Amino acid sequence: MTILDGKALAEKVKAEVRAEAERLKAGLAVVLVGEDPASQIYVRGKERDCGECGIQSFSHRIPAETTQAELLALLAELNEDPKIDGILVQLPLPGHLDTRQVLESIRPDKDVDCFHPLNVGKMTLGREGFRPCTPAGVMELLAAYDIPVRGKRCVVIGRSSLVGQPLSTLLTQADGTVSLCHSKTPDLAAYTREADILVSAVGRTGLVTADMVKPGAAVIDVAMNRGPDGKLSGDVDFGPVSEKAAFITPVPGGVGPMTRAMLMRSVLYAAKLHRE
């Protein structure tokens, strides 16, 4: 069994980004509304990643009471700022703000998270453009460890527009045969037991047990569940499943660092678009 080392691969990706991002003076604006502790940690992580990748980060920490109009005005400014190649609004936003309108007001050529409907459409059609960071990170891990997708049975558990849905699209485009499962899927194990590549993106500790896994499968755990003790765990019962799988991602240290590295790659991609 091989543990897919997302941390090491992310370092490699970030080093590659750095080689070009400094020369291009790539810039990322991160907008954090309010003081949600988890969001603050994520934003600090992104600032650190930018530092490591030679990307200039421009952080906007604004009060939780910020109105929709004020936030849209800030985004309009960032949209026009030539120093900014990518704009990231940290989610979730406070409840009084309209997340959809906010995300759709980011100019598509600066939408490094790939949330804008135009970019989602281009991704779905297989056209060149941004890719959502977590699904892209999963694909990068599979490729780096020479895990073939073509002709393989892939099962993705979780159909969110952030992870499961776009990942099922990318796996299909890589010639996998994909089942996208969710909370209404009857007999989940009947699907997972057939999977050569099994991805869990649900957010429920212990959901994927060893009896649900095909011997020799590649098991990718996207989930990041924080327990009452503050410890992170995934959906997969790591110990027993790792005895059955051929490849498995750890949590932490698997998909998480890859997501962050893919964001840096997206900013570089945007910088290239803007300099060309």
Active-site residue set: 46, 90, 113
* Residue of 173, 177, 225, 233 that binds ligand NAP (CB under 6 A): 225
Beta-carbon neighbour count of residue 22 at 10 Å?
13
Site for ligand NAP contains 255 (CB under 6 A):
yes
Site for ligand NAP contains 180 (CB under 6 A):
no
Q: Residue 179 in contact with residue 156, Cβ under 8 Å?
A: yes
Site for ligand NAP contains 188 (CB under 6 A):
yes
Q: Residue 42, SS3? A: helix
User: Least distance (Å) from ligand NAP to the CB of residue 22?
Assistant: 25
Residues 137, 17, 130, CA angle at the centre, nearest 5°? Answer: 50
Site for ligand NAP contains 131 (CB under 6 A):
no
Site for ligand NAP contains 259 (CB under 6 A):
yes
Gap between the Cα atoms of 9 and 72, Å rounded: 36
Q: From the DSSP assignment, how many helices (H) and strands (E) are in the chain?
A: 10, 11
User: Least distance (Å) from ligand NAP to the CB of residue 33?
Assistant: 19
* Residue of 71, 201, 219, 261 that binds ligand NAP (CB under 6 A): 201
- Lookup: tokens for 217: 């499968």
Looking only at the bridges linking them, the beta strands covering 225-226 and 232-233 are antiparallel
Site for ligand NAP contains 159 (CB under 6 A):
yes
User: Least distance (Å) from ligand NAP to the CB of residue 116?
Assistant: 18
Site for ligand NAP contains 169 (CB under 6 A):
no
User: Least distance (Å) from ligand NAP to the CB of residue 259?
Assistant: 3
Give the closest residue to 115 by CA, choosing from 138, 94, 88: 88
Nearer Cβ to ligand NAP, position 21 or 261? 261
Helix (H) or strand (E) holding 3: strand 2-3
- Total residues at the site for ligand NAP (CB under 6 A)? 25
Gap between the Cα atoms of 20 and 18, Å rounded: 5
Interaction pattern, residues 19-58, with ligand NAP; x per rule: CB under 6 A: ----------------------------------------
- Lookup: tokens for 197: 């590549």
For the chain, the first-to-last Cα distance in angstroms comes to 44
Using CB under 6 A as the criterion, which residues of the chain lie in contact with ligand NAP when the complex forms?
Answer: 134, 157-160, 162-164, 181-185, 188, 201-204, 222-225, 255-256, 259
